[in-house]
């Protein structure tokens, strides 16, 4: 058996030493403290439905195990009681809140959590906690029919049951980084191939997951606040195990029982996305290519000429001077300031790539400053760690140091002041090329590589956002990151790394995005069209039709492959791509409201059906369709030549977006997939806000009217939808400069009412004068708005509204 397998925690499991007894337990202000095997166990009540477990090492607790948690979890005083009993299970101590019951078994030691009704949350298996040197393992019971979700960016099915996973950020397509994990698998195992849709691990590691109990339909959650390398094994028939190679056991257990509530609690702990600038929700054009300044401006002009909406143009590594970060190639970009100014005048935002690697080059300002201030990662011998990436000899900033983050922020601020609008953090796993990263130490040599490897991208994003806020304190920052760990959502969006121009990679991105969304990262997307390899017209079109209905929409491809611009495959395909992009732009009011909701509750923008339909057994394993926001169901085309596909509709009314057919769920339908569209359905009861037409860019766009697509449900009920209007660029909305309208649609018999209630102080750029109701799923003749009857013409009713409340009623 190879050392890599042994390191993965397979062959050495027999050597772990189990904790078998508790010597004493006492009540504390936050919960319980117990003595066991020379170590201490703490049980802290965080909320009525959340408890934290921690076990010391060497009798000492690590009070700050990572940068994941951004609140004081023990700030609230939560009522709880403690009782001790002796019964068939021996002597036990129980801690009770209104939402959970923690049971500490004394001999043998066990640590279980149930809800007050007795339903299981987290029940220990034999050898529930064990250690071996710096590593520890926890084991819990899990039925074969149960489902597991989460863990961030993972390949394979959304339901993680039946597989094992590693948590270690990896530059997947670099065999020097991924080779260790590939070698640990049999050659016939698809997980041995980094280009497969099963390879593991990937770029983002999030040790947070949900456990769905198949018998009851309830969910529980687990977040281990530990940044070290880990292995989660859900392949056992009756239990799962979690192993970390270092650090301390600190786990937050969420009693649920509903998935949205668990995610809200997790993102309360680790933070939620900031409301993004609206331009970042538009179409983004990117390519790794040796552009010249004139090429970039020509690309901008071509999008306007082709009438393809676009907000963002991106520059990959070739724009730099010898791959030196924070520089421009003076030959290719002789006057970047003028270029940036002209692009801004044309409605474009420019995003530049910034890798962490600094060219080891005395005389290069960035390197010299870092050396002088001792801001670079060191080795055990005290020297500067040197890797091999794009610049050749490469040093790496030690982002664990606050002074490094401040310095990096200053460099970023200079970039932003020059006119750059967004920063793209790549290679931040960190990727070190041919050099093993383990020799890279942190904290000026005090901390191992393992402690901060998975946190490196988070710390880099922190520094980047700090700089952007320094340069433009009133403007919303935008950062895109390849790697990440818990909390990355506070600072950056994530794209799903270097994918391939293949149909299976298109399909893979759906459960992968859903897994990230369920793990707190709502701002996600895949490289549309595929990054590596040559795409083809049909694959590109179908990926664009899908990609425009994802949170982050960027067309990105690699150098030396075929062009995949929106117009690259001729006028027929360009027309179809244009219509897809225009649909995204018209839906931006709906999409923006979903992002605002994510900033408030953590709810994903691209979400699996199980998030909203947890009680539906058929929805639990659906991987090939998803909800875009709360009320649009998207079913992409997944293979060449597909003329129809099966779509599962969960409970409720669903209206075909294109032909208006009213359908009822739960159940399956066969949907046609002509080349001009993919299946799209609107939930009955929803009010979908849309712009009346697609502007050429979203940045700064303020419409005179907004359409409200009212989707009539087939049966009685009430549904709530939201429209959020603000300037889209600044943080003024945080201070109340916003119009927030909540629509409550109620159907009672044949009568449908829409009540709109508005809050917020408004904002200077607001110019809307009217709403246009567009009725879907029914054909009323009249709509009464605030007591005035309006004739319905072509399913549409226009009425004056300058940002106030209204009430609309019609009969179907």
pTM for this predicted structure: 0.97
Is 164 annotated as catalytic? no
Banded model confidence at residue 426, pLDDT cuts 50, 70, 90: very high
Distance CA 145, CA 529 (A): 36
Instruction: Find the length of the chain.
Output: 812
Sheet holding 81-87, edge to edge: 81-87, 90-96, 101-106, 109-114, 120-122
SS3 label, residue 721: strand
For 776, the enclosing helix (H) or strand (E) is strand 770-776
- pLDDT value at residue 460: 98
Q: What pLDDT score does 6 carry?
A: 39
Taking the C-alpha atoms of residue 762 and residue 116, their distance in angstroms, rounded to an integer, is: 45
Owner of token pair 């969420």:
254
Give DSSP secondary structure letters for 463-484.
HHHHHHHHH-TTB---EEES-B
pLDDT in the model for residue 270: 98
Angle at which helices 402-417 and 456-471 pack, to 10 degrees?
Answer: 50
CA angle 700, 703, 709 (to 5 degrees): 125
Neighbouring CB atoms inside 10 A of 409's CB total: 20
pLDDT tens digits, one per residue of 328-344: 999 999 999 999 999 99
Tokens (6 digits) for 497: 């790394």
The structure tokens listed for 423 are 């920063």
β-partners of residue 109 are 106
Is 711's pLDDT higher than 60? yes
Is the pLDDT reported for residue 11 higher than 80? no
Per-residue pLDDT tens digits for 351-402:
999 999 999 999 999 999 999 999 999 999 999 999 999 999 999 999 999 9
Please give the Cα distance from 578 to 308 (Å, whole number).
5
User: According to the model, what pLDDT value does residue 37 have?
Assistant: 83
The span from the CA of 240 to the CA of 230, in Å, is: 13
- Average predicted confidence (pLDDT) for the chain: 96
Provide, rounded to the nearest whole percent, the portion of the chain with pLDDT above 90.
Answer: 97
Could you tell me which residues come within 8 angstroms of residue 594 by beta carbon, excluding any fewer than 6 positions away?
603, 605, 628, 629, 630
Report the pLDDT averaged over residues 563-591.
98
Please report, for residues 284, 313, 334, 397, 809, the alpha-carbon distance to residue 339 in angstroms, rounded to integers and kept in the order given. 18, 12, 9, 30, 52
Which pLDDT does position 13 carry in this prediction?
75
pLDDT, tens only, 133-154? 999 999 999 999 999 999 999 9
Are residues 68 and 57 in contact, defined by beta-carbon separation less than 8 angstroms? no
Rounded to a whole number of angstroms, the distance between the first and last alpha carbons of the chain is: 70
Query: Is the confidence at residue 302, as pLDDT, over 80?
Result: yes
Distance CA 763, CA 776 (A): 31
Residue 414 designated active-site: no
pLDDT over 70 (residue 101): yes
Catalytic residue among 297, 498, 625, 631: 498
Please state, in angstroms and as integers, the Cα–Cα distance from residue 217 to each residue in 6, 142, 147, 201, following that order: 36, 13, 10, 29
CA proximity to 400, closest of 373, 432, 377: 377
Write the burial class of residue 640 (CB in 10 Å: 0-12 exposed, 13-18 middle, 19+ buried).
exposed
Q: What is the mean pLDDT of residues 793-807?
A: 97
pLDDT at 653: 98
Distances from the Cα of 93 to the Cαs of 19, 66, 120, in angstroms?
A: 17, 30, 17
Taking 60 as the threshold, does the pLDDT of residue 768 lie above it?
yes
Q: How far apart are CA 698 and CA 729, in angstroms?
A: 10
Q: Which of 174, 225, 429, 725 is catalytic?
A: 429
Distance from chain centroid for Cα 131: 32
Gyration radius of the chain's alpha carbons = 27
**Given 3-state DSSP classes, what are the helix, strand and coil percentages for the chain, each rounded to the nearest 5?**
20, 35, 45
Two structure tokens written together for 547? 């990609």
Told to judge if 429 belongs to the known catalytic residues of this protein, a careful annotator would answer yes
**Residue in the structure block whose two tokens are 């030690």:** 398
Sheet holding 717-725, edge to edge: 717-725, 739-748, 751-759, 806-811, 782-785, 788-791
Residue 3 pLDDT exceeds 80: no
Tokens at residue 199, please? 């390879």
3-state class (DSSP) for residue 706: strand
Active-site pick, 200, 426, 527, 625: 426
Give the residue from 503, 545, 498, 504 showing the smallest Cα distance to 526.
498
The DSSP H or E segment spanning 669 is strand 662-672
Token pair for 226: 């530990």
162 pLDDT more than 80: yes
pLDDT digits (tens, 9 = 90+) for 696-710: 999 999 999 999 999
Give the residue with greater pLDDT, 128 vs 123. 123
Pairing of strands 626-628, 606-607: antiparallel
pLDDT digits (tens, 9 = 90+) for 226-262: 999 999 999 999 999 999 999 999 999 999 999 999 9
CA dihedral 579, 583, 585, 588 (to 10 degrees): -170
- Give per-residue burial for 648-675: e unless 16+ CB within 10 Å, then b: bbbebbbbbbeeeebbebeeebebebee
- The SS3 assignment for 515 reads helix
Domains and CATH numbers, the chain: 3-142+220-230+237-270 (2.60.40.1760), 356-401+424-489 (no CATH), 702-811 (2.60.40.1180)
């Amino acid at each position: 058996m190879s050392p890599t397998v042994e390191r993965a925690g397979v062959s050495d499991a027999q050597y772990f030493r189990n904790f078998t007894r508790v010597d004493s337990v006492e009540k504390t202000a936050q919960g319980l403290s117990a003595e066991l095997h020379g170590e201490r166990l703490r049980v802290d009540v965080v909320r009525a439905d959340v408890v934290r477990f921690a076990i010391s090492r060497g009798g000492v607790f690590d009070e700050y195990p990572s940068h994941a948690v951004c609140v004081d979890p023990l700030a609230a005083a939560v009522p709880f009681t403690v009782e001790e009993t002796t019964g068939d299970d021996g002597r036990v101590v129980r801690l009770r809140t209104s939402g959970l019951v923690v049971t500490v078994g004394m001999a043998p030691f066990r640590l279980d959590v149930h809800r007050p009704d007795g339903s299981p949350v987290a029940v220990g298996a034999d050898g529930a906690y064990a250690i071996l040197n710096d590593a520890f393992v926890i084991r819990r019971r899990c039925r074969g029919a149960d489902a597991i979700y989460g863990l961030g960016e993972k390949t394979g099915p959304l339901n993680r049951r039946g597989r094992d996973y590693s948590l270690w950020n990896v530059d997947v397509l670099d065999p020097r980084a991924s080779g260790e994990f590939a070698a640990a698998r049999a050659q016939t195992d698809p997980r041995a191939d980094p280009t497969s849709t099963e390879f593991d691990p990937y770029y983002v590691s999030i040790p947070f997951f949900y456990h769905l109990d198949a018998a009851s339909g309830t969910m529980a959650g687990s977040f281990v606040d530990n940044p070290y390398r880990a292995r989660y094994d859900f392949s056992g028939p009756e239990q799962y195990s979690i192993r970390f190679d270092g650090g301390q056991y600190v786990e937050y257990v969420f009693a649920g029982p509903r998935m949205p509530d668990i995610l809200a609690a997790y993102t309360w702990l680790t933070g939620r996305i900031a409301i993004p600038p609206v331009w970042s929700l538009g179409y983004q054009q990117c390519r790794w290519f040796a552009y010249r300044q004139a090429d970039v401006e020509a690309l901008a002009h071509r999008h306007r000429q082709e009438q393809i909406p676009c907000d963002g143009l991106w520059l990959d590594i070739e724009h730099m001077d010898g791959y030196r970060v924070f520089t421009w190639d003076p030959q290719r970009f002789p006057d970047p300031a003028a270029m940036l100014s002209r692009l801004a005048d044309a409605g474009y935002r420019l995003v530049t790539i910034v890798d962490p690697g600094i060219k080891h080059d005395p005389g290069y300002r960035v390197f010299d400053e870092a050396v002088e201030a001792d801001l670079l990662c060191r080795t055990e011998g005290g020297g500067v760690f040197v890797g091999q990436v794009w610049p050749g000899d490469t040093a790496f900033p030690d982002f664990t140091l606050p002074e490094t983050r401040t310095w990096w922020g200053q460099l970023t601020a200079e970039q932003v002041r020059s006119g750059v609008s967004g920063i793209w953090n790549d290679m931040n796993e960190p990727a070190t090329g041919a050099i093993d990263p383990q020799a890279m130490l942190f904290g000026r040599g005090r901390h191992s590589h393992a402690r901060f490897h998975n946190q490196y991208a988070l710390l880099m994003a922190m520094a980047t956002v700090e700089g952007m806020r320094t340069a433009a304190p009133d403007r919303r920052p935008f950062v895109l990151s390849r790697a990440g760990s818990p909390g990355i959502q506070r600072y950056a969006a994530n794209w799903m790394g270097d994918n391939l121009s293949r149909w299976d990679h298109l399909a893979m991105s759906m459960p992968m995005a859903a897994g990230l969304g369920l793990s707190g990262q709502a701002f996600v997307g895949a490289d549309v069209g595929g990054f590596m390899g040559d795409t083809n017209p049909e694959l590109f079109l179908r990926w664009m039709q899908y990609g425009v209905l994802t949170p982050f929409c960027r067309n990105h491809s690699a150098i030396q492959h075929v062009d995949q611009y929106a117009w690259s495959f001729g006028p027929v395909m360009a027309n179809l791509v244009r219509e897809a992009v225009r649909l995204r732009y018209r839906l931006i009011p709906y999409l923006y409201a979903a992002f605002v909701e994510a900033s408030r509750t953590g709810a994903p923008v691209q979400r699996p059906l199980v998030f909203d339909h947890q009680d539906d057994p058929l929805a639990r394993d659906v991987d090939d369709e998803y909800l875009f926001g709360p009320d649009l169901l998207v079913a992409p085309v997944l293979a060449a030549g597909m003329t129809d596909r099966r779509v599962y509709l969960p409970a409720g009314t669903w209206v075909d977006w294109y032909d208006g057919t009213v359908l009822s769920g739960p159940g399956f339908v066969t949907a046609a997939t002509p080349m001009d569209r993919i299946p799209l359905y609107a939930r009955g009861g929803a009010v979908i806000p849309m712009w009346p037409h697609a502007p050429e860019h979203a940045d700064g766009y303020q419409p005179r009217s907004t359409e409200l697509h009212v989707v009539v449900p087939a049966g009685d009920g009430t549904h709530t939808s939201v429209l959020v209007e603000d300037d889209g660029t600044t943080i003024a909305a945080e201070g109340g400069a916003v119009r927030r309208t909540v629509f409550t649609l109620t159907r009672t018999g044949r009568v449908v009412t829409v009540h709109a209630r508005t809050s917020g102080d408004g904002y200077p750029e607001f110019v809307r004068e009217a709403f246009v109701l567009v009725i879907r799923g029914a054909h009323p003749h009249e709509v009464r708005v605030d007591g005035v009857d309006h004739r319905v013409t072509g399913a549409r009713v226009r009425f004056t509204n300058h940002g106030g409340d209204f009430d609309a009623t019609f009969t179907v």
